[in-house]
Structure 1
């Protein structure tokens, strides 16, 4: 059993978690201060979003220097102090690594333009943020490729020197004590520079057929993974895969590739649908039966669980947490879920910081939309809705200064009650020892998802009426009425029954 198979990870959105020096930005001083909070919650792993020097065009996913700390987050000494404290608190730390592209102000762009992807004339590829994926450089008299913002220049993975640079970066952070990496959009690496035009669907939307999952990309990832494991045999490698095809997502999770990959078909659904959730649990078992899936309902790239799925209903939010922390897989809690944080709301374009939302706003204006309509589009498209300043269960504010992101930030009325639920659930998970148990049963009856793992039966009732189940055993977690051998589970409740031997 590998250490991460029993772990519960907590995503820290660095800019918005805890500001230790009152400048409005989260930092390592603040994160270190809040480690006791995370220890009390019961998480055993942390995933940190990028904290490297950056232009901050895409909030750190445009890296200017891979082997340093951006001053807004502190210094390398602050990072090392945090890492020492994290170890003392029993927490492993994995960090985001962005190897698809660098910021345009990275020293490589001038010193080593051959590290990047160039073309004499653009093809029809569009940026994932909208508009052409090619921008002209007068200095090179050619167009450089950027699958995201024009300030995020894609690396050319046909060049052996790029691989050597990447290995140095990975080794540097492993030697600093990190337990692993979350590889950002790792299947987008450019390893084929023939550039066929992408097709379009019947609605006129581009199908990103040739600018991701290129032939040879898995060989590149295998070399990176092998290098990491040679440096640190128990390293944890997580992949963000730009795809909604589970077979494609799963193809990157193998012994010679990544340990796990995020399945956004499960985690980022827009509306609560118990059949959709159940079907995806079943599909993950069918497609990746010998590996653990990932379980999450939120991240920095989507609306918050409480607003998007629970419709501000605390019971539904708790039930989603119950499922995430008891189903088979490795859970990832997004910071703020444990206190019921809701979507950030923006009343003016100047309050936004996310390039995706701002670009959608300007494209809408170009298409003739009114300013109000364009703002509505921006609120729908922006990832900032899930990036508001952290609201802690103990009432401590994110910062004593003006936060880096504006807008209205809300949470559930009783943060502490929600926090206590997560804490009890995590305590039970740790004590019961079912984390790596396979499903003995996985069924959907009425609106209740049921699964047996080890000696426990888990019942997640997503229905609006009571659900009755005839079983012999005792209640191990949650609340349910008992009548003879029946357990009656209330609407939007999760319970665990310890079955009789």
Structure 2
């Protein structure tokens, strides 16, 4: 029997552990969650109106994607004012009401922070454009003279992670073309210069602004960015991310963002040593507040040991485990990731995290329905392979039981609990993701996972815009969403919502998030079988193509599909593409 070392502080003494160590955290993408004023755009009033739904689901915390003042060039990840709410989403008063209501329901609130870049409509950048080269205004960003006789070539060969060059040239005050500014993402997202003390002080003040209002933590966007290698050297390598024990090749020049191996193959703009000084300073800011405030890193780096450097004792509290997401529907890859994650987490006494989908990825229930269920497409269009919706849903439900049985903290993207698939047939004319346009459609983009979620099967816009019969959502919803609507699932036995609710409840009651696992004798990843024990629960998942015989005498706690259990010649078996929790 294989064993895995303890991985979370909660395992030693759950009563003394911080809330985030074993939390189930639900990601709300505000523009697509619930529309409170009927204009087709989700907002903070809509979030407030649906908080009871989240409390009933049983999650512990809500992470809100950006809602700050923004021209919305990248759905709010281009921030023009870090201390205010964009009118699209409401007001600061709406935020305060939502926060207070969440706290009354026992829900923590985590907000997104975008520190790598601002909007080009931020007051600082507007001041930089009218200032001279070498000025203090320009030093807040990364402006450089170009190469060539007249500076007509970019300062280096870096490519935007949304496609195209990472540099844009701007005119001087006399109208002649002058310096270039760096934008690792869209042209409207200029990178800040984190060597500048004013930038560091400003972002710490932004932290305090929201902490003073009562937020419980921050998800840090592009947490492995900010600091760039000295001299900004050229880089155009192809890189490989490891998912489990398998390698996933990523094009370093056109990757959507965030894949960044370390060592000799590391991009000079990701995972630089200096980022850790920033988080040590932020750790001190959070320590000044009560209530176990937390930071979680969006750091797409590898190997796993590099990820857990972000959660050392004096830095962040959590980092997303994207290797688990990238593992896909493959027992060996999932097993490899779990073993490595728990080992590295234990080395720094930090909690593991687990996530299957988010606002930047094709939904896992659709990825699992592809011919290669380990593939990681950058969006799906009507011209691409269409997933097997039924198969993908079955695998997605089973994956949720694998995830919720593991120790640490689990993240749920809005709609996961409904089994929502990707919208794979969005017309090009309605797409809004800048990566689609900057790659001239080579990348389908992330719009398909950002479609407003369905609340009522028979209502206009599936209830997304409440009672407004004319509330047309900002992205169109597919007809298939009717059968996934919340009112078709809440309190409906066998629904995906009820599976999630039951698993989250049992996870809490049995302390699985603060537990530890051991692989049982049935575990055989090479055959497609995952089997581990966490406290009083045995988790078995059948990723093979054949029925699997369950151990004798164990009672069933929850199963991903009722029909997945059958009796064959007196032996209880679990069907392929299914998972079950048994009594230990």
TM-score normalised by structure 1 residue count: 0.90
Distance 1:73 1:63, change over 3 A: same
- Partner residue of 2:579 out of 481, 491, 494: 494
Kept in 2, the 8 Å contact 1:12–1:49? The answer is yes
Q: Distance in 2 between matches of 1:221 and 1:146?
A: 22
CA distance in 1, matches of 2:351, 2:436: 33
Q: Relative contact order: is structure 1 or structure 2 higher (C-alpha 8 Å, sep ≥ 6)?
A: 2
Q: Which residue of 2 aligns with 1:398?
A: 464
Partner of 2:168: 135
Is 1:125 aligned to residue 158 of structure 2?
A: yes
CA RMSD of aligned residues (A): 2.4
Partner of 2:357: 298
Q: Which position in structure 1 is the counterpart of 2:300?
A: 242
Structure 2 residue 237 is the aligned partner of structure 1 residue 157: no
Following superposition of structure 1 onto structure 2, how do residues 261-410 of structure 1 map, counting pairs within 5 Å?
A: 261-269=319-327, 271-289=328-346, 290-310=349-369, 311-312=388-389, 313=391, 314-361=393-440, 374=441, 377-379=442-444, 382-392=445-455, 397-399=463-465, 400=468, 401-406=471-476, 408=478, 410=480
- The match for 1:256 is 314
The offset of 1:216, in angstroms, is: 1.6
The one-character-per-residue Cα deviations of 1:159-194 (angstroms, maximum 9, x if unpaired) are 111111011100010111111000000111135441
Q: Which residue number in structure 2 is paired with residue 440 of structure 1?
A: 518
Whether contact under 8 Å (1:473, 1:497) holds in the other structure is yes
Judge conservation of contact 2:23–2:60 (CA < 8 Å) in 1. Answer: yes
Tell me how far 1:288 sits from its aligned partner. 2.2
Q: 1:20 to 1:467 in 2, by over 3 A?
A: same
Do 1:339 and 1:412's aligned partners in 2 also have CA atoms closer than 8 Å?
no
In structure 2, distance between residues paired with 1:444 and 1:188 = 38
Count of matched residue positions in the alignment of Structure 1 and Structure 2: 482
DSSP 3-state at the match of 1:221: helix
Once residues 557 and 300 of structure 2 are traced to their aligned partners in structure 1, the CA distance between those partners, rounded to angstroms, is 39
Structure 2 residue 139 is matched with structure 1 residue 114: yes
Find the aligned partners of 2:162 and 2:104 in 1 and give their Cα distance.
Answer: 41
Question: What is the rounded CA distance, in whole Å, between the counterparts of 1:409 and 1:330 in structure 2?
Answer: 34
1:370 paired residue number:
none
User: Offset of 1:463 from its aligned partner?
Assistant: 2.5
Deviation at residue 250 of structure 1 after TM alignment? 2.1
Contact 1:343 1:409 in 2 (8 A): no
Q: Distance in 1 between matches of 2:24 and 2:62?
A: 8
Q: TM-score, normalised by structure 2?
A: 0.78
Classify the secondary structure of the residue corresponding to 2:206. Answer: helix
Question: Is the contact made by 1:238 and 1:259 (CA closer than 8 Å) also made in structure 2?
Answer: yes
The offset of 1:412, in angstroms, is 7.8
Inter-CA distance 456–360: structure 2 relative to 1 (3 Å threshold): same
Consecutive unaligned residues in structure 1, runs of 5 or more: 362-373
Deviations along 1:384-425, one digit per CA (max 9) or x if unpaired, are: 110001113776521241111236363483551211111111
Q: Distance in 2 between matches of 1:481 and 1:110?
A: 66
Give CA-to-partner distance per residue, 1:63-116, whole Å, 9 cap, x none: 000000000000111111111111111110101100001001101113433211
CA distance in 1, matches of 2:581, 2:478: 37
Contact 1:171 1:231 in 2 (8 A): no
Deviations 1:335-389 (A, max 9, x none): 011112111234532210110112222xxxxxxxxxxxx5xx343xx01110001
CA distance, structure 2, for counterparts of residue 19 and residue 233 of structure 1:
31
In structure 2, what is the Cα distance between the partners aligned to 1:328 and 1:149? 37
Where does residue 286 of structure 2 map in the other structure? 228
Structure 1: how far apart are the matches of 2:36 and 2:579? Answer: 37
The Cα offsets for residues 296-338 of structure 1, whole Å up to 9 and x where unpaired, read as: 1110001112211244223212101111211223111110111
C-alpha distance in structure 1 between counterparts of 2:273 and 2:56, whole Å: 46
1:208 is displaced (CA, Å) by 5.6
Q: Unaligned regions of 5+ residues in structure 2, if any?
A: 1-16, 128-136, 147-154, 240-249, 254-264, 370-387, 490-494
Aligned 8 A contact 2:351 2:408 in 1: yes
Q: 1:177-224: CA deviations, max 9, x gaps?
A: 111000000111135441111143499854662111223221122112
Instruction: Give the aligned partner of residue 413 of structure 1.
Output: 483
Contact kept? 1:192, 1:215, Cα under 8 Å? no
Which is further off, 168-177 or 412-421? 412-421
Q: 8 Å contact 1:388–1:409 — kept in the other structure? A: no
- Between the aligned partners of 1:86 and 1:295, the Cα distance in structure 2 is 23
Distance 1:457 1:485, change over 3 A: farther
1:365 equivalent in structure 2: none
Q: Which shifted more, 477-486 or 408-417? A: 477-486
Separation of aligned partners in 1, 2:554 and 2:366: 36
